[in-house]
Chain A
């Protein structure tokens, strides 16, 4: 989806802005498996749903497994929320920390 959106933009400037990356830190919580690499650079326009898919592949989860993502150990962002919005509101020291777990942790 993101690729298509980028391609539709005529202005080269918009394309580079969309491609700009931000740092996210993926932290396991509860019974979730821990990642070897926790730090990732992701495109700003990526959504929570696409990070969730990406993480499911990394963790080799079964389709029947649940995976929940949380911001600030407080709330589950909407699947269509963008990394840019979350980063702009909730980054600490230039990185966005996302906690993941296989059962609901914070509501």
Chain B
């Protein structure tokens, strides 16, 4: 763990340039709004970085609709705010050789797609969703024994570290959650699996050790979960990961901030 902290910094600093445009149908009045450009951290969540986007576009929509909840769409797919930004980008662009940066995202206020994405009433919804995911991850890794013994102010360090983009603040507490409790393995590895192009998420119980007693590799894990996929490529953080990578190592070093690995399979 201590030797590989460079990768933690590298992933933390991963950013995506995004170009936001208001949906043409929703432009109210004669003046077309300028697109809004933003560099967003891959590890963060859209509701935490979009205050300025909302402020920029809200004055260009029908006054009756300005109070409605803003939502985002890419190529007719509503984007789930509860997925990390980097996961959304990888899911819907990795297959597409034409996906140029900046990432073109359409902003909506009207016609919220209730049946496809969750509402995000306030920043606290993001916080409770995020903290619940961390708790679940700790249950999988350490049978809940680390997170639940942390103090309230330690939990706050995790959340405010993410909120304010403070690596040291976040990792001073997160390192406790990333220590294998017995020997060199977690009990289970928290993983969310996705197929490229779909927002459907699959979760299974993943063990860090394979049947033969050796560490489980990424290739073995994908073969177990997707036996019918020939020559799968596995991406996370925009990186194609070699099949021989141990999943325990990945969990410690390549998890998103919610402590889950988010793997996109092609």
Which residues on A are within 8 Å of B, measured CB to CB?
Answer: 1, 4, 49, 71-72, 74-81, 85-86, 88-89, 106-107
Contacts and interface: CB of A to CB of B under 8 A. Distances in A.
A71 B80 CA distance: 22
Contacts of A74: 135-136, 139, 144
B39 interface: no
Contact of A80 (B80, B133, B205): B80
A13 B128 CA distance: 37
Given A1-B115, A107-B131, A77 B136 contact: yes
Contacts, number: 45
Interface of B: 80, 82, 115-118, 128-129, 131-133, 135-136, 139-140, 144, 201-205
Contact of A75 (B80, B135, B204): B135
7 contacts: A74-B136, A80-B118, A81-B203, A88-B204, A89-B140, A89-B203, A107-B132
A80 B132 CA distance: 13
Contacts of B116: 1
Contacts of A1: 115-116
Contacts of B204: 85, 88-89
- By DSSP majority rule, is chain A's interface helix, strand, loop, or mixed? loop
A76 B204 CA distance: 17
Nearest to B82: A78
A95 B132 CA distance: 22
A83 to B, nearest CB: 11
Given A72-B139, A89-B205, A78 B115 contact: no
A94 B204 CA distance: 15
Nearest to B133: A78
B228 to A, nearest CB: 13
A75 B129 CA distance: 10
A89 B207 CA distance: 11
B144 A76 contact: no
B165 to A, nearest CB: 23
Contacts of A81: 203
Given A85-B202, A85-B203, A89-B204, A75 B136 contact: yes
